[in-house]
C-alpha cells in the first residue's frame, strides 16, 4: 500500500521526494542524552497506568455486574439475540451475506489481509511517527476498513431490535416491525425481467442450469475485479511500479474485495438484490 | 521518620535473604537501576534505557501494556472463578448463579473478569490502530505485526469460548450461531460450498469436530471449557512472549 | 421503489451507513493529523 | 562414472553422496510421516464415534390431534412444527436455515420470523425475506403400524434446492409433498 506514488503524482517532483526519503530514513544517531533509564521513568509510568486501569475495572464491575440470562434452552431463542459488541459487526454482515461468506470467508480475508499489510506496504516513510501526508493511501485504505467495521458494530448495538429489524431511536422497540415489506430478488432475475431475457437454461451442468441472466451476472462480477485491477494499473502506473507485480496483485485483490462488501450492502438496500451471483453450490 | 525507614532499608538490603532474592541494591543509583532491569525476570521485559519518545503517553497511549495487564487480570480472576465452576450442563448455570448469590465477592470477580475481557478486546483493537497509525509495523517489525494479528484472533476466540460457560441463553445461542458458521465453511463444512460434494455431513464436518456432537450440549461445553481455561490461554501466553521478545530485539519505533 | 423512507428504511440505512463511515474515517484521519501536529510542536519546544 | 558433460566423478564420492541423500530422505521422510500421522490421529481424536444425545426418532401422537394450520405446541419439547393442509400433514424442523436459531411463528401474519438475523419464512418453509439461503427442513414422518401415532425421524430431512423468484426462495409444493416427508391423512 504505497502512497509515495500519490505523493509524487500530486505534489513534489520526484527528485525532492527521493532526497526527503533519504533524509528521513537515514540512521539517526542516538546518544545517551536522548535516552532515559527505564527505572524509574517507564516502570513508574506503567505502575500508574495499571493502578488507573484497575480502578476503572473495579468501578465498572461494581456499577454494572456481569449479567446472567435465563437457563439455556434449545427451543426458544431470545428476541433479539445479540452477540457481545465486538462480534456485532460480524452479525450485521450476516444479514447481507450467506453464512459461508460472512461467517468464514470474509473474516478469513480480514485476518489474512491484516497479516499481509506490512508485506504489501513498500513505503519507507512514516515509520515510528504519526503522519498522514506521507502515507495517504495506506491511511485512507486502513481507515476505511476500520470505519466499516466500527459502523457495522454501531448499527448492531444501537439500531437492531426485535427480529433483527432496524429501529431508529424514536421507534418503539417493543413493537414488531411488519414482515416482508420488501421482496428481495436475485440480480439475474432482475436482469431477466428488465431486459426480457429468456429463462430457459443455455446449458445444464448437473444441478447448474446456466441461463443468459446468470452469465451476465458472472460477467458483472468478474468485470468488477477486472476493472479494479486494471484502472490503477493504467492511470497510476507509478503506483504499480512501486509495488511490483506480486505486491500489487495481492494488495489489489484484498482492496477490491473490501470495496465489494459495502457495494453488495448497497445493492441490497437500494435495489433489493438478494444475490449477485447464484450457483447451486454457492450464492452471494 | 524518613531517615529511620532508610536505615531499615539499608539493613534489609544487606541481609542474606534479600541478597539471595535480589541481585541488585536498592535502585537509587544509575548502576543499580540498570542492574534491576538485568536481574529481574519480569522487569527484564524492558531494556535498561529507552528513547525519550517511548515515554510519551501521546505516542503509545499505553495500549499494548494495558492489553497485557488485562490479560494478567483475566488469568487471575479466571483461576479464581474456576474454583467454583463445574463444566456440566446440569450444574454450570447454577454454579454461576451461586457466584452472584452465595459466594463472597463471587459477583465481583465475575464482573471484573467480564469487564477485563471487554477491555482487552477493545485495547487490542486500539493498540492495532495505533501501531498502524505510527507505521510501527514497517521493516524490521513486520513479523511482530503478524504475531499481533494472531493475538487478536486468539483474544476474540477466547472471549467467544468464554461466553458459552455460564450456560445461559446468550451462551447457547451465540455458540449455536458460531457453530453454524463453522458448518458453512467451504469444503469442510456440511452446509458450506462444495462441502456435501466432498462427503461432509453433520457427523463428520468442522462443526462436529468443534462441538464434539451435532448439538450444543455437554461435550461442547467441556470442549469450550478446556479451550477457554487451558489451551487458548497457553497459546496466547506463548505468542505474547514472542511479541515481547521481538519488541526487545527490534527496539521501539518511537520518536526521539 | 415505493416510499423508500418508510420501513424497512432502506434509504435511511444507506445514508446512515455512508455518513457513519465518513464520520469514523474523519475521526481516524483527524486523530492522526492532530497527533502529527502535537509531536511537531513538542519538537520545536525542545 | 561420467555425467552427461563427460566429467568423470569419483565413484566413492558419488556413492557417499547417494547414501547421504537417501539417509536424509528416509530420516526426514519418517519424521514428516510420524508428525503427519500424529496430526491426523489428533484430528480424528477430536471427532467422537459415540454420541450421548437425545433420541432423534420420536412419536408425536395421532394425526387427528392436529387441525388445519401450523401447530406450535411441540416447538419447545421437540423443536418441530406440525403443519396440516388440505392434503395432509408435514413436520417442519424449527431450526433457522441461516444460523440455527429458533424462529417464532406469527399467527396473524402466517409467517415464521427468526430473531437472530431476521429471516422470514412462509408456512411452507419458503424463504420470503431476510438472509436465509435455503428453505426450512421437513423431517421424515411415518405412521406407526401398531398404535397409529406419527413417528418423526428428526435427522432425516428433506432439503431441495430452492429457486430464486421475485417472491423469495421457493420450492414447488407438489415436489415436496412426497413420502416419507408427507402423510396423506
Q: Are residues D38 and D74 in the same domain?
A: no
* pLDDT tens per residue, range D10-52: 777 788 889 999 999 999 999 999 999 999 999 888 888 888 8
Same domain, D45 and D68: no
Same domain, B137 and B234: yes
Strands D127-129 and A35-37: unpaired
Q: What residues are paired with A57 via a beta bridge?
A: none
Check residues A139 and A75 and name the one with the higher pLDDT. A139
Give the whole-angstrom CA distance, residue B182 versus residue B210.
8
Interface check B172 vs A, CB under 8 A:
yes
Other beta carbons within 10 Å of B253: 21
Instruction: Give every CB contact of residue B95 below 8 A, 6+ residues apart in sequence.
Output: B84, B85, B86
Residue A3 has pLDDT above 60, yes or no: no
Is a pLDDT exceeding 70 seen at residue D4? no
Of D36, D52, D68, which closes a domain? D52
Residue D3, SS3? Answer: coil
Instruction: Measure A83 CA to nearest chain B CA, in Å.
Output: 6
Q: DSSP strand E in chain D: where?
A: 57-59, 69-71, 80-84, 89-93, 104-106, 111-113, 120-121, 127-129, 138-143, 150-158, 163-165, 168-170
Select the residue from B175, B179, B180 to test the D interface by mutation, using most D Cβ atoms within 10 A.
B180
- The answer to whether residues D135 and D39 touch, using CB atoms and an 8 Å cutoff, is no
Q: In the predicted model, what is the mean pLDDT of chain B?
A: 90
For residue A173, how many other CB atoms are within 10 A of its CB? 11
What pLDDT sits at residue A6?
A: 42
Instruction: Tally the domains of chain B.
Output: 2
Alpha carbon of D110: minimum distance to chain A alpha carbons (Å): 10
Q: Can you give the residue range of the structural domain that contains B13?
A: 1-49
Tell whether D138 and D153 lie within a shared domain: yes
Domain that holds residue D66: 57-176
CB-CB contact of D97 with D119 (8 Å): yes
> Domain check: are B101 and B143 in the same one?
yes
Q: Are residues B18 and B112 in the same domain?
A: no
All cell numbers assigned to B178: 458460531
pLDDT value of position D98: 86
Q: Which of residues 51-110 of A touch D (CB under 8 A)?
A: 73-81, 91, 94-99, 103
Q: Is B58 on the interface with C (CB under 8 A)?
A: yes
Q: Are residues B62 and B129 in the same domain?
A: yes
If asked whether residues B37 and B153 sit together in one domain, one would say no
Question: Which H or E run includes A186?
Answer: none
Do B32 and B118 sit in the same domain of this protein?
no
Q: Do residues B153 and B233 both lie within one domain?
A: yes
Residue A220 in this model has a pLDDT that exceeds 90:
yes
To which residue does cell 409433498 refer?
D177
Number of domains in chain D: 2
Q: What is the pLDDT of residues A230-276, one digit of tens each?
A: 999 999 999 899 999 999 999 999 999 999 999 999 998 888 888 89
Q: For CA atoms B22, B25, B28, B31, give the dihedral sign.
A: negative
For cell 491511511, what's the residue?
A: A139
CB contact under 8 A, C25 and A143: yes
Is residue D185 in a domain? no
A65 contacts on B by Cβ (under 8 Å): 100, 107-108, 110-111
On whether residue B147 sits in a domain, the answer given is yes
User: Which residue of chain D has the CA closest to B180?
Assistant: D99
> Which residues in chain D are closer than 8 Å to B209, comparing Cβ atoms?
43, 46-47
Do A183 and D167 count as a contact with CB atoms less than 8 A apart?
A: yes
Of A6-20, A233-247, D124-138, the poorest mean pLDDT is in A6-20
Closest CA to B110 of A86, A60, A157, A70: A60
D152 with D108, same domain: the answer is yes
Give the model's pLDDT for residue A9.
39
Domain co-membership, B71 together with B89: yes
Those chains having 3 or more beta-carbon pairs within 8 angstroms of chain D are A, B
| Domain residue limits, chain A | 4-13+37-61+83-271
Mutual orientation of helices A106-120 and B142-162 as an angle, nearest 10°? 160
Same-domain check for residues B119 and B6: no
pLDDT for the residue numbered A249: 95
- Assembly ipTM: 0.86
- In order of A92, A114, B31, B256, the CA distances from A31 in angstroms are 52, 35, 18, 11
* CB half-sphere exposure, D92, CA atoms < 13 A: 28
Mark whether D22 and D66 lie in a shared domain: no
Q: Do D48 and B176 touch (CB under 8 A)?
A: no
DSSP, residue by residue, chain B? -HHHHHHHHHHHHHSHHHHHH-SS--TTSHHHHHHHHHH-TTGGGS-SEEEGGGG-HHHHTTHHHHHHHHHHHHHHHHHHHHTT----TTTHHHHHHHHHHTSTTHHHHHHHHHHHHHHHHHHHHHHHHHHHHTTTTSTT-HHHHHHHHHHHHHHHHHHHHHTTTT-BHHHHHHHHHHHHHHHT-TTTSTTSTTTGGGT--TTTSHHHHHHTSSSSSHHHHHHHHHIIIIIHHHHHHHHHHHHHHHHHHH------
Residues of chain A in Cβ contact (below 8 Å) with chain C: 129-133, 139-140, 143-144, 146-148, 150-151, 154-155, 159, 165-166, 168, 177-178, 181-182, 262, 265-266, 269-270, 272
Residue D67's CB is within 10 A of a number of other CB atoms, namely 8
Total residue count of chain A as it appears in this document: 284
Backbone angles phi, psi at B8, to 5 degrees: -60, -45
For residue D2, the tally of other CB atoms under 10 A from its CB is 8
* Least CB–CB distance from C20: residue in A154, A266, A269: A154
- Decide if pLDDT at D57 tops 70: yes
B113: pLDDT strictly greater than 80 = yes
Number of H helices, E strands in chain C: 1, 0
Beta-carbon neighbour count of residue C15 at 10 Å? 12
All cell numbers assigned to A210: 446456466
Burial A6-38 (b: 16+ CB within 10 A, else e): bbbeeeeeeeebeeeeeeeeeeeeeeeeebbbb
Phi, psi (5° rounding) for residue D137?
Answer: -70, 150
- pLDDT tens-digit map of B63-109: 999 999 999 999 999 999 999 999 999 999 999 999 989 999 999 99
User: Do D24 and D82 have their domain in common?
Assistant: no
B95 with B44, same domain? no
Please check the confidence at residue D6 and state whether its pLDDT lies above 70: no
Please tell me the distance from the alpha carbon of residue A163 to that of residue A176, in angstroms, as a whole number. Answer: 7
D82 Cβ neighbours under 8 A, 6+ residues apart: D60, D66, D70, D71, D74, D89, D90, D91, D150
Q: Are residues D67 and D47 in the same domain?
A: no
Please tell me the distance from the alpha carbon of residue B131 to that of residue B60, in angstroms, as a whole number. Answer: 8
Q: How many CB atoms lie within 10 A of CB A171?
A: 15
Distance CA A104, CA B207 (A): 12
Q: What would the pLDDT profile of B202-227 be if each residue is shown by its tens digit?
A: 788 888 888 988 888 899 999 999 99
Residue B102 and residue B220 share a domain: yes
Give one word for D69, left, alpha or beta, with left for phi > 0 and alpha for psi -120 to 50: left
Q: Are residues D37 and D65 in the same domain?
A: no
At which of D11, D28, D52 does a domain end? Answer: D52
Distance from CA of B200 to the nearest CA of D (A): 13
Q: Nearest CB to A129: which of B69, B128, B134?
A: B134
Q: Which of A72, A83, A146 sits opposite B172 (nearest CB)?
A: A72
The pTM (predicted TM-score) of the whole model is 0.88
CB B32 within 8 A of CB B26: yes
A131 to C16: CB separation less than 8 angstroms, yes or no:
no
Tell me, yes or no, whether B27 and B101 share the same domain.
Answer: no
Same domain, D77 and D164: yes
Summarised one tens digit per residue, pLDDT across range B154-179 is 999 999 999 899 999 988 988 888 88
Helix (H, G, I), strand (E, B) or coil at A169: coil
> Which DSSP symbol is given to A104?
I
Q: How far apart are CA B236 and CA A5, in angstroms?
A: 38
D101 shares a domain with D169? yes
> Domain holding D66: CATH number?
2.102.10.10
Q: Does B188 touch chain D (CB under 8 A)?
A: no
CB contact under 8 A, B115 and A38: no
Clarify whether residues D169 and D116 are in a common domain: yes
Three-state SS letters, A14-40? HHHHHHHHHHHHCCCCCCHHHEEEHHH
Angle between helices B169-183 and B142-162 (to 10 degrees): 130
Last residue in a domain, options B49, B67, B87? B49
User: D21: distance to nearest CA of chain A, Å?
Assistant: 34
Q: Which of B93, B149, B191 sits opposite A111 (nearest CB)?
A: B149
Report the relative pairing of strands D168-170 and D163-165 from DSSP bridges. antiparallel
- The pLDDT, as a whole number, for residue B5 is 92
From chain D residues 67-86, the ones with a CB under 8 A of any chain B CB are none
Convert the pLDDT of each residue in C5-35 to its tens digit: 777 788 899 999 999 999 999 999 999 999 9
Which strand (E) or helix (H) includes residue A152? helix A136-158
Residues D103 and D163 in one domain: yes
Q: Say if residue A171's pLDDT is above 70.
A: yes
Query: Which residues are within 8 A (CB) of B72 and not within 5 positions of it... i.e. 6 or more apart?
Result: none
CA atoms within 13 A on the CB side of C3: 5
Amino acid at each position: 500500500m504505497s502512497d509515495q506514488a500519490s505523493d509524487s503524482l500530486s505534489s513534489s517532483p520526484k527528485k525532492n521526494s527521493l532526497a526527503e526519503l533519504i533524509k528521513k530514513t537515514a540512521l539517526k544517531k542516538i546518544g545517551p542524552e536522548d535516552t532515559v533509564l527505564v527505572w524509574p521513568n517507564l516502570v513508574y509510568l506503567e505502575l500508574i497506568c495499571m493502578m488507573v486501569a484497575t480502578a476503572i475495572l473495579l468501578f465498572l464491575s461494581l456499577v454494572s455486574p456481569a449479567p446472567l440470562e435465563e437457563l439455556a434452552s434449545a427451543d426458544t431463542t431470545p428476541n433479539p439475540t445479540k452477540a457481545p459488541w465486538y462480534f456485532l459487526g460480524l452479525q450485521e454482515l450476516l444479514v447481507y451475506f450467506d453464512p459461508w461468506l460472512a461467517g468464514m470467508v470474509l473474516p478469513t480475508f480480514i485476518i489474512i489481509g491484516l497479516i499481509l499489510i506490512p508485506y504489501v506496504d513498500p513505503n519507507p516513510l512514516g515509520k515510528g511517527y504519526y503522519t498522514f501526508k506521507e502515507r495517504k493511501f495506506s491511511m485512507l485504505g486502513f481507515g476505511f476498513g476500520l470505519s466499516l467495521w466500527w459502523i457495522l458494530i454501531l448499527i448492531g448495538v444501537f439500531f437492531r431490535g426485535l427480529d433483527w429489524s432496524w429501529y431508529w431511536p424514536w421507534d418503539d422497540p417493543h413493537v414488531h416491525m411488519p414482515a416482508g415489506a420488501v421482496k428481495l430478488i436475485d440480480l439475474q432475475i432482475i436482469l431477466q425481467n428488465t431486459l426480457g431475457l429468456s429463462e430457459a437454461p443455455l446449458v445444464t451442468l448437473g444441478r447448474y442450469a446456466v441461463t443468459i441472466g446468470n452469465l451476465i451476472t458472472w460477467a458483472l462480477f468478474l468485470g468488477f475485479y477486472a476493472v479494479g485491477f486494471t484502472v490503477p494499473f493504467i492511470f497510476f502506473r507509478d503506483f504499480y511500479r512501486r509495488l511490483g507485480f506480486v505486491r500489487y496483485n495481492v494488495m489489489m485483490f484484498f482492496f477490491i474485495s473490501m470495496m465489494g462488501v459495502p457495494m453488495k450492502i448497497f445493492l441490497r438496500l437500494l435495489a433489493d438484490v438478494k444475490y449477485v451471483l447464484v450457483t447451486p453450490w454457492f450464492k452471494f | 521518620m524518613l531517615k529511620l525507614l532508610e536505615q531499615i532499608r539499608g539493613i534489609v538490603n544487606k541481609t542474606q535473604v534479600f541478597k539471595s532474592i535480589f541481585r541488585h541494591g536498592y535502585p537509587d543509583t544509575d548502576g543499580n537501576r540498570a542492574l534491576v532491569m538485568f536481574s529481574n525476570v519480569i522487569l527484564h521485559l524492558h531494556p535498561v534505557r529507552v528513547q525519550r519518545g517511548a515515554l510519551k503517553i501521546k505516542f503509545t497511549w499505553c495500549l499494548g501494556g494495558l492489553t497485557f495487564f488485562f490479560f494478567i487480570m483475566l488469568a487471575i480472576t479466571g483461576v479464581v472463578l474456576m474454583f467454583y465452576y463445574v463444566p456440566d450442563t446440569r450444574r454450570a448455570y447454577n454454579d454461576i448463579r451461586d457466584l452472584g448469590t452465595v459466594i463472597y465477592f463471587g459477583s465481583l470477580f465475575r464482573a471484573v473478569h467480564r469487564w477485563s475481557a471487554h477491555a482487552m478486546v477493545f485495547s487490542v483493537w486500539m493498540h492495532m490502530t495505533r501501531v498502524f497509525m505510527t507505521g510501527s509495523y514497517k521493516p524490521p517489525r513486520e513479523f511482530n505485526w503478524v504475531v499481533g494479528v494472531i493475538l487478536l484472533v486468539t483474544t476474540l476466540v477466547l472471549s467467544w469460548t468464554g461466553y458459552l460457560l455460564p450456560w445461559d441463553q446468550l451462551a447457547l445461542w451465540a455458540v449455536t450461531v458460531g457453530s453454524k458458521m463453522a458448518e458453512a465453511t467451504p469444503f469442510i463444512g456440511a452446509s458450506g460450498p462444495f462441502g456435501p460434494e466432498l462427503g461432509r455431513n453433520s457427523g463428520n464436518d468442522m462443526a462436529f469436530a468443534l462441538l464434539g456432537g451435532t448439538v450444543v450440549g455437554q461435550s461442547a461445553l467441556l470442549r469450550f471449557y478446556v479451550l477457554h481455561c487451558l489451551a487458548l490461554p497457553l497459546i496466547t501466553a506463548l505468542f505474547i512472549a514472542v511479541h515481547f521478545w521481538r519488541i526487545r530485539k527490534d527496539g521501539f519505533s518511537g520518536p526521539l | 421503489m415505493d416510499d423508500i423512507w418508510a420501513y424497512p428504511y432502506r434509504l435511511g440505512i444507506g445514508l446512515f451507513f455512508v455518513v457513519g463511515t465518513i464520520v469514523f474515517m474523519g475521526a481516524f484521519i483527524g486523530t492522526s493529523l492532530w497527533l502529527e501536529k502535537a509531536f511537531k510542536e513538542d519538537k520545536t519546544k525542545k | 562414472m561420467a555425467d552427461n558433460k563427460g566429467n568423470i566423478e569419483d565413484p566413492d564420492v558419488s556413492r557417499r553422496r547417494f547414501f547421504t541423500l537417501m539417509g536424509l530422505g528416509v530420516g526426514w521422510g519418517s519424521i514428516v510421516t510420524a508428525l503427519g500421522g500424529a496430526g491426523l490421529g489428533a484430528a480424528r481424536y477430536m471427532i467422537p464415534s459415540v454420541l450421548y444425545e437425545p433420541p432423534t426418532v420420536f412419536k408425536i401422537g395421532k394425526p387427528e390431534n392436529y387441525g388445519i394450520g401450523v401447530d406450535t405446541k411441540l416447538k419447545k419439547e421437540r423443536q418441530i412444527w406440525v403443519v396440516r393442509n388440505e392434503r395432509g400433514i408435514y413436520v417442519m424442523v424449527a431450526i433457522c436455515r441461516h444460523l440455527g436459531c429458533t424462529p417464532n411463528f406469527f399467527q396473524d401474519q402466517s409467517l415464521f420470523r427468526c430473531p437472530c438475523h431476521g429471516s422470514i419464512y412462509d408456512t411452507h418453509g419458503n424463504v420470503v425475506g431476510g438472509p436465509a439461503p435455503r428453505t426450512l427442513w421437513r423431517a421424515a414422518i411415518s405412521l406407526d403400524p401398531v398404535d397409529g401415532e406419527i413417528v418423526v425421524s428428526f435427522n432425516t430431512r428433506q432439503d431441495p434446492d430452492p429457486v430464486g423468484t421475485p417472491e423469495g426462495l421457493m420450492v414447488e409444493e407438489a415436489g415436496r409433498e412426497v413420502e416419507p416427508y408427507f402423510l396423506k391423512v
